[in-house]
A and B are shown apart, each in its own frame.
With several copies, the nearest count.
Chain A
């Protein structure tokens, strides 16, 4: 299949993501880890799904398989009907290792502009997108700094800015707000939702913060501990208009939150041999 074929197929139904029986085992020097055992779910075009699960469950692995960066050992990922075999067009990823995903040899602005250049975004539009993205993550002042001159949280926000400036059809985010302060986090959450609603992207959002998952998502997928399966798929039936204080104050929010929390707690001991039970 040529790349134009893929492209047009994706355009047709560019966001429909289908994860079918994905299985991933890492074979390393003497260490074999079955990170993901059997994951099957799908995310419709324009949906915003959050993924929670214990540390080491395989969330990052799953995201990489979806992004076409890692070939699954079994099963397949389909995006817009086509099988994902390499990074599909129109997809942006915010990596958990944000620090290493920024190019240290480029300034912040260049880091954000480069993917746009790759997309052949015209120059004036590019400059506007970069400035806008930086503005929206609260980094208006640093376009000419290098990533290593920034604090952890600022680096992470640069990575986010790069992804949103790209205006992707599908956005994968791996714990994107882990290093920012509470208030910035809230702002970024709202930013994510508004971008999602305005641009109609499909968003897959990995987080450890259960409140965040419930607040952001239309659905929350709860993964079990490693080897990973989908433990539960919680539909978040909160109103579409969300607001930090009022939404979080809703009784339904508290219910959902409690439910997901319970599930996550169960997730760690989901498999008969509860390997990772911290004992302290």
Chain B
């Protein structure tokens, strides 16, 4: 038991620790202004984030992130199911969606500002608009790849409409949907940062940009560190969700390995 715990710990922190050590080693002998030593970053981290910034910057960011991410997931799955199950609709809309998908957020944001102002709603819109794609594309592909025998079975037994969606389409596509959601998670964080670079006065991204602009480089790195930690923490949470939603898939895929 203890051995398994130790191994899990090693897996979680082994590589990060090694990388940090590398940073430590190289930063210590570089005199570049832009690579502060790990010491500086860590002390900046403490000073910067264990302060009122938690409330002023981190919490608003997290709120936008949560709303934006959930919005993207809901929208992505909805669109994905629609496009995945209706070939004609997909043919009609795919080019339009691909068009928007290719437009960089820094260019898109000004346009969005025209419609949604410069408040939180704009930032949430940016997060949604940017991170809906992995969810949507994966859902489309997941829905398209539903096993034909399974689909026939559902049709025969009159499993249509909402029940079909809930009992067949979503579960069957869930491995792909979850893969898309995982992608979208980090993209949401990135877009949270990018959206907060525009018309903002609070937020994690805002803070990082300010640090960058005011040449507070250790603080900036500490912000990036925080982003990474945030991503890591959220991915752990996500892992819990994943193991609930996909436990059948795990089981199915590992069933032949026997134990575990």
Q: Touching in the complex, A and B, CB below 8 A?
A: yes
Cβ B157 vs Cβ A70 within 8 A: no
Report B5 CB to chain A, min CB distance, Å: 19
A41 within 8 A of B: no
In the docked arrangement, what's the CA distance between A29 and B168, Å? 22
A279 within 8 A of B: no
B253 to A, closest residue via Cβ: A148
Segment of B9-17, B64-72, B121-129, B145-153 in the binding face: B145-153
For chain B, give the interface size range.
Answer: 20 to 34
In the docked arrangement, what's the CA distance between A100 and B256, Å? 13
In the docked arrangement, what's the CA distance between A89 and B157, Å? 8
- Given the known interface contacts A105-B171, A148-B252, A148-B255, the answer about A115 and B149 at a Cβ–Cβ threshold of 8 Å is no
Cβ B256 vs Cβ A119 within 8 A: no
Residue-wise, chain A 89-108 has the 8 Å CB interface mask toward B (1 for contact) of 10111010100110111100
- Residues of B near A69 (CB, < 8 A) are 152, 155-156, 256
- Residues of B near A105 (CB, < 8 A) are 171-172, 174, 248-249
Report A113 CB to chain B, min CB distance, Å: 11
- Residues of B near A251 (CB, < 8 A) are none
Cβ A27 vs Cβ B252 within 8 A: no
In the docked arrangement, what's the CA distance between A92 and B157, Å? 6
Cβ B251 vs Cβ A114 within 8 A: no
Within 8 A of B (CB), among A112-159: 114-115, 117-119, 146, 148-149
Within 8 A of B (CB), among A57-97: 64, 67-71, 73, 86-87, 89, 91-93, 95, 97
In the docked arrangement, what's the CA distance between A87 and B259, Å? 18
In the docked arrangement, what's the CA distance between A8 and B169, Å? 30
- Given the known interface contacts A29-B247, A103-B171, the answer about A87 and B156 at a Cβ–Cβ threshold of 8 Å is yes
B86 within 8 A of A: no
A215 within 8 A of B: no
- Residues of A near B153 (CB, < 8 A) are 93, 95, 101, 103
Cβ B255 vs Cβ A97 within 8 A: no
A28 within 8 A of B: yes
- Residues of B near A29 (CB, < 8 A) are 247, 251
Cβ B260 vs Cβ A115 within 8 A: no
- Given the known interface contacts A89-B158, A103-B168, A118-B158, the answer about A27 and B259 at a Cβ–Cβ threshold of 8 Å is yes
- Given the known interface contacts A95-B149, A146-B251, the answer about A27 and B260 at a Cβ–Cβ threshold of 8 Å is yes
In the docked arrangement, what's the CA distance between A149 and B252, Å? 8
- Given the known interface contacts A27-B260, A105-B171, the answer about A97 and B149 at a Cβ–Cβ threshold of 8 Å is yes
- Residues of B near A166 (CB, < 8 A) are 157
B104 within 8 A of A: no
B245 to A, closest residue via Cβ: A105
B7 within 8 A of A: no
Residue-wise, chain B 225-260 has the 8 Å CB interface mask toward A (1 for contact) of 000000000000000000000011101100111111
- Residues of A near B174 (CB, < 8 A) are 105
Cβ B155 vs Cβ A114 within 8 A: no
Q: Which of A71, A101, A114, A117 contacts B149 (CB 8 A)?
A: A101
Cβ A118 vs Cβ B248 within 8 A: no
B159 within 8 A of A: yes
Within 8 A of B (CB), among A220-245: none
B167 within 8 A of A: yes
- Given the known interface contacts A95-B149, A97-B149, the answer about A28 and B251 at a Cβ–Cβ threshold of 8 Å is yes
Cβ A103 vs Cβ B167 within 8 A: yes
- Residues of B near A149 (CB, < 8 A) are 251, 255
Cβ B147 vs Cβ A100 within 8 A: yes
In the docked arrangement, what's the CA distance between A101 and B252, Å? 14
Q: Which residues of A contact B (CB under 8 A)?
A: 24, 26-29, 64, 67-71, 73, 86-87, 89, 91-93, 95, 97, 100-101, 103-106, 114-115, 117-119, 146, 148-149, 162, 166
Q: Which residues of B contact A (CB under 8 A)?
A: 147, 149-150, 152-153, 155-160, 163, 167-168, 171-172, 174, 247-249, 251-252, 255-260
- Which 7 residue pairs are nearest across A and B when measured between Cβ atoms? A115-B157, A100-B149, A105-B171, A105-B248, A101-B153, A93-B156, A148-B252
Known: A93-B152, A117-B163. 11 other contacts (CB 8 A): A27-B259, A103-B167, A103-B168, A104-B249, A105-B171, A114-B157, A118-B163, A119-B158, A146-B248, A148-B248, A148-B252
